[in-house]
DNA sequence: GCGGATCAC
DNA sequence: TATGGTGATCCGC
């Protein structure tokens, strides 16, 4: 489907034509900036789409201009040196040229099938829609190459080298294979994928083209080939190369030294491959998926509430798609396109994987909120919204996690604690899963654990959750940011009032050092967290108990009490349990609970075995460390709490889902950092720069009250029906010999 | 990691 | 004539 490639319209010319300025042969470059901006404004009145196209074109022109300036500064000596280097690489490539394979590229025009599918999603699983390619043709393709590579519904590569060898012994009448499809089909035969792809485009429609497997044939084929025909060279690259006088592959080869100086290594390597007629000779299977997303275009939506709803719907769709493939990821990205066609993406990465609607939405919502807030009081006038999930853990990540778990279990065995009986008496997988859940501790927990473990020489716990320690990245960023802020404030003013980001108390008139100590103390906190609790039962040493007593040197007594209450609130909040008869939800105050718990913990030292059976009876389907810890507490008939207060924003979260809550904490944290960084960026951008040409070519245009023209195919998001195009099918019989 | 851009289909 | 949706990758911070 390269039709779009050829038909990409020249919006500039079109607009100039409409404005009666088309006699300006010099084009945009020949106009001064005011005129350009005026044109953009005019264009935007008529069509925001054109306006944005012009803006983008201007940016590309700027890139080209920069490139030309760079080119002008290249000395002949640099060029000679580059020539040597490039030619050395070209020689290597030449030597590795492989002409022994026969690759076929099949290109079917499945456009109509695609349209059909889009408008009748219910057909998706039926043979009629996909059948033309996948049901009918795929089997045939497999005859030629069982390992053929399907690029999409309508496109595939075959390596028929082996087939051809076998085929030589076939009787004549068997050497023809007819394919009858409802769609046109093109194919090309060449020694590598790049050439094969170009070939299939050569004799369209329904053509076949072959490049013989000898160097001369390849070079002849390449000689006058416009670079734009090659996969990977798009509109922009074409334009940039054109500015350097490069249109054909021959010219691309001639300018190879210059290109190595103007483009990235990846790019000029790619260029060199093309200009030598080289390409992939084996069909590499696609690796693992890197991301998954949903996005939707609609007529303008400006109300924040609708935008949040939309966002949630998208998250829900995404979550369903993710579930089909069993994927979970750490990075959520939202994409926004406003009515002026300006696209923005905003991403946030959390410390543990997410996959449910609620988890994804918790992150996406905040990203969206940040954007809405940034433009306040103006609404975001959106025409598209998308949500993407990425940063899927790779196999190594998973193995690493497994190792951590196994290591943890072994560590548990070595010590005299209860997990031994877990391995023997319970479903191991279940327990592994529960441990996986324990990765979803909030970063505060992780940080506490990290610090605690580093002090516990007697407890060989390093295998537990190396990942948790590493994933406290967000924390590192926060702390770094904090330190930066502190440093600057210290430099400017010695009597700054610091607000501790952990306990949210203002620290007046104290030195930076004292403040840091305070923050560290806050981070260490009382070690009665739910997570570390189970270890405390069997491992807490007397030194650690002593440490607890001396941990807040800079607190007044009342402060200390307040602080402890706050901390206990946060910490105990991590406990989550289903309500059972044994475990009434009503009950004692937080303080009473904490005190009681604390005392009991001390009393139970040094070791208290678990009752794992009770664990299994009472816990919900998945058992986390938190659950185990709280269950052990439950043995002493203590209640649990469900009010979750975010330690970052300090607001109570209306959820009883631990994972969700932890996602919230991560997001809250990210948000703070992002806003800080943005502030810095804005400040930076506002500073006048010397000797720097302003690259701000945003060409911001008037916001007019005129309602945008409703695009034909688009409907309001909530509406499910779409107009059906007139899709008369091509009916052509196609064959290849 | 983030965000903008480019490219393919 | 005039788009939309999904996914990958690159580059410069």
- Write the pLDDT tens digit of every residue in A362-395: 999 999 999 999 999 999 999 999 999 999 998 7
Q: Which of A307-311, A499-503, A655-659 tops mean pLDDT? A: A307-311
Question: Which residues are registered as beta bridge partners of A449?
Answer: none
Nearest nucleic acid nucleotide to A107, CA to C1' distance: B9
Q: Which of A364-373, A531-540, A607-616, A691-700 tops mean pLDDT? A: A364-373
Nearest nucleic acid nucleotide to A1, CA to C1' distance: B9
Query: Could you check: is the Cβ of residue A9 within 7 Å of any atom of nucleic acid strand C?
Result: yes
Give the residue-averaged pLDDT of A622-651. Answer: 50
E strands in A227-375: 291-301, 329-338, 343-354
From residue A114, alpha-carbon distances to A8, A207, A422, A506, A606 in Å are: 20, 22, 53, 61, 67
Q: How far is the CA of A389 from the C1' of C8 (A)?
A: 14
pLDDT reported for residue A202: 84
Query: Could you check: is the Cβ of residue A267 within 7 Å of any atom of nucleic acid strand C?
Result: yes
pLDDT reported for residue A620: 31
Query: Could you check: is the Cβ of residue A386 within 7 Å of any atom of nucleic acid strand C?
Result: yes
**Residue A65 pLDDT grade (very low, low, confident, very high; cuts 50, 70, 90):** very high
Nucleotides of chain B in contact with protein CB (under 7 A) are 1-9
* Range A67-72 contact pairs with CB under 8 angstroms and sequence separation of 24 or more: A67/A240, A67/A243, A67/A244, A67/A262, A68/A243, A70/A261, A70/A262, A71/A244, A71/A258, A71/A261, A71/A262
Give the residue-averaged pLDDT of A55-61. Answer: 93
Query: Could you check: is the Cβ of residue A234 within 7 Å of any atom of nucleic acid strand C?
Result: no
Please give residues of chain A from 104 to 163 whose alpha-adjacent beta carbon (CB) lies under 7 Å from any atom of strand C. Answer: 114
* pLDDT of A594 higher than 50: no
φ, ψ (nearest 5 deg) of residue A636: -95, 30
**Residue A406 pLDDT grade (very low, low, confident, very high; cuts 50, 70, 90):** low
Q: What angle do CA A12, A16, A20 make, to 5 degrees?
A: 175
What is the rounded CA–CA span in Å between residue A287 and residue A150? 13
Nearby residues of A315 by Cβ (< 8 Å), 6 or more positions away: A357, A360, A361, A364, A387
pLDDT reported for residue A97: 95
pLDDT reported for residue A407: 63
The pair of three-digit structure tokens given for residue A695, joined into one six-digit string: 């690259």
Q: How far is the CA of A524 from the C1' of C12 (A)?
A: 38
Nearest nucleic acid nucleotide to A334, CA to C1' distance: B3
The residue lying closest to nucleotide B3, measuring its CA against C1', is: A345
Using DSSP's 3-state secondary structure scheme, residue A416 falls into: coil
The residue lying closest to nucleotide C11, measuring its CA against C1', is: A264
pLDDT reported for residue A636: 37
Nearby residues of A706 by Cβ (< 8 Å), 6 or more positions away: A45
Select the more confidently predicted residue: A642 or A318: A318
pLDDT reported for residue A671: 67
What is the rounded CA–CA span in Å between residue A24 and residue A36? 13
A348 neighbors A672 (Cβ within 8 angstroms): no
**Residue A38 pLDDT grade (very low, low, confident, very high; cuts 50, 70, 90):** low
From residue A451, alpha-carbon distances to A101, A350, A445, A523, A648 in Å are: 59, 21, 10, 9, 19
φ, ψ (nearest 5 deg) of residue A361: -65, -35
A554 neighbors A505 (Cβ within 8 angstroms): no
Select the more confidently predicted residue: A460 or A325: A325
Q: How far is the CA of A238 from the C1' of C9 (A)?
A: 18
pLDDT reported for residue A651: 83
Query: Could you check: is the Cβ of residue A49 within 7 Å of any atom of nucleic acid strand C?
Result: yes
Tens-digit pLDDT profile for residues A251-283? 999 999 999 999 999 999 999 999 999 999 988
Q: How far is the CA of A238 from the C1' of B6 (A)?
A: 11
Query: Could you check: is the Cβ of residue A17 within 7 Å of any atom of nucleic acid strand C?
Result: no
Spatial CA neighbour of A553 closest among A521, A591, A530? A521
Q: How far is the CA of A343 from the C1' of B4 (A)?
A: 9
* pLDDT of A666 higher than 50: yes
Nucleotides of chain C in contact with protein CB (under 7 A) are 1-12
What does the mean pLDDT of chain A come to?
Answer: 63
Burial of A88 (0-12, 13-18, 19+ CB in 10 A): exposed
Cα diameter, chain A: 98
Q: How far is the CA of A350 from the C1' of C8 (A)?
A: 22
Nearest nucleic acid nucleotide to A63, CA to C1' distance: B5
Q: How far is the CA of A236 from the C1' of B5 (A)?
A: 10
Q: How far is the CA of A43 from the C1' of C10 (A)?
A: 31
Tens-digit pLDDT profile for residues A186-225? 788 999 999 999 998 887 766 789 999 999 999 999 999 9
Q: Are strands A208-210 and A185-190 parallel, antiparallel or unpaired?
A: parallel
pLDDT reported for residue A56: 93
Distance, CA of A503 to chain centre? 33
* pLDDT of A314 higher than 80: yes
* pLDDT of A398 higher than 60: yes
Tens-digit pLDDT profile for residues A68-106? 999 999 999 999 999 999 999 999 999 999 999 999 998
Q: What angle do CA A665, A669, A672 make, to 5 degrees?
A: 140
Query: Could you check: is the Cβ of residue A728 within 7 Å of any atom of nucleic acid strand C?
Result: no
pLDDT reported for residue A409: 55
* pLDDT of A321 higher than 80: yes
Q: How far is the CA of A203 from the C1' of C10 (A)?
A: 32
Please give residues of chain A from 578 to 607 whose alpha-adjacent beta carbon (CB) lies under 7 Å from any atom of strand C. Answer: none
Residues A470/A473/A475/A480 CA torsion (nearest 10 deg): 120
Output DSSP code: residue A301. E
Tens-digit pLDDT profile for residues A562-579? 333 333 333 323 222 233
Q: Which secondary-structure segment (H or E) carries A645?
A: strand A644-645
Query: Could you check: is the Cβ of residue A289 within 7 Å of any atom of nucleic acid strand C?
Result: yes
Show which residues sit with Cβ under 7 A of nucleic chain B: A 1-2, 4-5, 56, 59-60, 63, 151-155, 197, 230-238, 330-331, 333, 343-349, 391, 473, 670, 674
Q: Which of A16-20, A161-165, A324-328 tops mean pLDDT? A: A324-328
Query: Could you check: is the Cβ of residue A292 within 7 Å of any atom of nucleic acid strand C?
Result: yes
Q: How far is the CA of A2 from the C1' of B8 (A)?
A: 9
Percent helix, percent strand, percent coil in chain A, to nearest 5: 55, 10, 35
Give the residue-averaged pLDDT of A129-157. Answer: 71
* pLDDT of A285 higher than 70: yes
What is the rounded CA–CA span in Å between residue A229 and residue A657? 53
The pair of three-digit structure tokens given for residue A438, joined into one six-digit string: 């324990």
Nearest nucleic acid nucleotide to A155, CA to C1' distance: B9
Tens-digit pLDDT profile for residues A470-508? 333 444 444 444 444 444 443 433 334 444 444 455 555
Give the residue-averaged pLDDT of A29-44. Answer: 49
Residues A703/A709/A712/A717 CA torsion (nearest 10 deg): 50
A108 neighbors A155 (Cβ within 8 angstroms): yes
Give the residue-averaged pLDDT of A540-551. Answer: 32
**Residue A662 pLDDT grade (very low, low, confident, very high; cuts 50, 70, 90):** confident
Query: Could you check: is the Cβ of residue A459 within 7 Å of any atom of nucleic acid strand C?
Result: no
Nearest nucleic acid nucleotide to A60, CA to C1' distance: B5
* Range A648-655 contact pairs with CB under 8 angstroms and sequence separation of 24 or more: A648/A501, A648/A672, A650/A504, A655/A358
pLDDT reported for residue A164: 82
The residue lying closest to nucleotide C4, measuring its CA against C1', is: A297
| DSSP line for A169-238 | TS-GGGS-EEEE-SS-EEEEEESSHHHHHHHHHHT-SS-EEE--SSHHHHHHHHHT-BGGGSTT--HHHH
The residue lying closest to nucleotide C10, measuring its CA against C1', is: A266
The residue lying closest to nucleotide C3, measuring its CA against C1', is: A713
Half-sphere exposure of A22 (CA within 13 A, CB side): 11
Judged by average pLDDT, the poorest of A192-196, A225-229, A713-717 is A713-717
The residue lying closest to nucleotide C1, measuring its CA against C1', is: A9
Nearest nucleic acid nucleotide to A713, CA to C1' distance: C3
Using DSSP's 3-state secondary structure scheme, residue A691 falls into: coil
**Residue A168 pLDDT grade (very low, low, confident, very high; cuts 50, 70, 90):** confident
Query: Could you check: is the Cβ of residue A269 within 7 Å of any atom of nucleic acid strand C?
Result: no
Taking the alpha carbons of A610, A626, A351, A484 in that order, is the dihedral positive or negative? Answer: negative
Nearest nucleic acid nucleotide to A4, CA to C1' distance: B9
Query: Could you check: is the Cβ of residue A290 within 7 Å of any atom of nucleic acid strand C?
Result: yes
Give the residue-averaged pLDDT of A408-421. Answer: 43
């Amino acid at each position: 489907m390269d039709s779009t490639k050829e038909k990409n319209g020249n919006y500039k010319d079109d607009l100039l034509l409409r404005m009666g300025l088309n006699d300006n042969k010099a084009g945009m470059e020949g106009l001064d900036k005011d005129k350009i901006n005026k044109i953009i404004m005019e264009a935007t009145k008529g069509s925001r789409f054109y306006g944005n196209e012009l803006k983008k074109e201007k940016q590309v022109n700027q890139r080209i201009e920069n490139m030309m300036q760079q080119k002008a500064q290249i000395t002949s000596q640099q060029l000679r040196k580059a020539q040597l280097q490039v030619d050395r690489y070209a020689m290597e490539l030449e030597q590795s040229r492989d002409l022994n394979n026969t690759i076929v590229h099949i290109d079917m025009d499945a456009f109509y099938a695609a349209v059909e599918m889009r408008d009748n999603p219910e057909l998706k699983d039926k043979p009629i829609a996909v059948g033309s390619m996948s049901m009918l043709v795929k089997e045939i393709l497999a005859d030629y190459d069982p390992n053929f590579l399907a690029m999409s519904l309508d496109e595939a590569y075959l390596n028929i080298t082996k087939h051809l060898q076998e085929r030589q012994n076939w009787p004549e009448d068997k050497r023809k294979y007819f394919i009858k499809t409802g769609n046109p089909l093109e194919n090309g035969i060449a020694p590598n994928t790049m050439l094969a792809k170009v070939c299939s485009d050569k004799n369209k429609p329904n053509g076949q083209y072959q490049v013989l497997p000898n160097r001369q044939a390849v070079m002849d084929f390449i000689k006058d080939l416009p670079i734009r025909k090659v996969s990977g060279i798009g509109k922009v690259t074409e334009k940039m190369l054109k500015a350097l006088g490069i249109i054909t592959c021959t010219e691309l080869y001639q300018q190879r030294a210059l290109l190595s100086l103007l483009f990235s290594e990846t790019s000029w390597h790619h260029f060199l491959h093309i200009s030598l007629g080289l390409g992939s000779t084996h069909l590499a299977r696609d690796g693992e998926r890197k991301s998954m997303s949903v996005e939707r275009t609609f007529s303008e939506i400006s109300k924040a509430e609708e935008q949040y709803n939309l966002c949630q719907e998208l998250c829900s769709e995404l979550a369903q798609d993710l579930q089909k493939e069993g994927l979970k990821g750490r990075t959520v990205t939202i994409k926004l396109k406003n009515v002026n066609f300006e696209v923005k993406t905003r991403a946030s990465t959390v410390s543990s994987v997410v996959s449910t609607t609620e988890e994804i939405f918790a992150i996406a919502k905040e990203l969206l909120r940040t954007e809405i807030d940034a433009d306040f009081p103006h609404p975001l006038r959106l025409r598209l919204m998308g949500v993407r999930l990425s940063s899927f853990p790779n196999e190594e990540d998973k193995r690493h996690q497994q190792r951590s778990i196994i290591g943890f279990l072994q560590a548990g065995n070595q010590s005299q604690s209860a997990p031994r009986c877990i391995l023997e008496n319970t479903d191991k997988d279940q327990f592994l899963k529960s441990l996986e859940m324990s990765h979803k501790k909030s970063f505060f927990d992780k940080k506490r654990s990290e610090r605690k473990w580093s002090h516990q020489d007697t407890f060989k716990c390093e295998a537990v959750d190396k990942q948790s320690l590493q994933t406290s990245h967000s924390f590192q960023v926060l702390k770094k940011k904090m330190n930066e802020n502190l440093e600057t404030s210290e430099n400017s003013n010695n009597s700054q009032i610091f607000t501790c980001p952990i306990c949210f108390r203002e620290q007046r008139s104290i030195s930076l050092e004292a403040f840091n100590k305070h923050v560290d103390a806050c981070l260490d906190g009382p070690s009665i967290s739910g997570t570390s609790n189970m270890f405390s039962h069997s491992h807490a040493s007397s030194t650690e108990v002593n440490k607890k007593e001396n941990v807040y040197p800079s607190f007044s007594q009342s402060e200390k009490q307040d602080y402890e209450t706050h901390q206990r609130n946060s910490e105990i909040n991590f406990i989550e349990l289903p309500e059972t008869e044994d475990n009434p939800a009503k009950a004692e105050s937080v303080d009473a609970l904490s005190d009681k718990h604390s005392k009991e913990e001390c009393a139970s030292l040094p070791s208290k075995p678990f009752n794992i059976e009770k664990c299994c009876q009472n816990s919900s389907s998945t058992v986390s460390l938190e659950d185990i810890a709280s269950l052990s507490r439950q043995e002493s008939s203590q209640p649990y709490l469900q009010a979750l207060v975010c330690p970052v924003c300090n607001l109570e979260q209306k959820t009883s889902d631990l994972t969700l809550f932890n996602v919230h904490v991560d997001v809250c944290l990210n948000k703070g950092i992002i806003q800080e960084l943005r502030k810095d960026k804005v400040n930076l951008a506002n500073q006048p720069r010397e000797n720097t040409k302003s690259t701000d070519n945003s060409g911001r245009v008037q916001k007019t009250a005129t309602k945008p023209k409703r695009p034909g195919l688009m409907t309001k998001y909530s509406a499910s029906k779409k107009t059906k195009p007139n899709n008369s099918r091509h009916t052509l019989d196609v064959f290849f010999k």
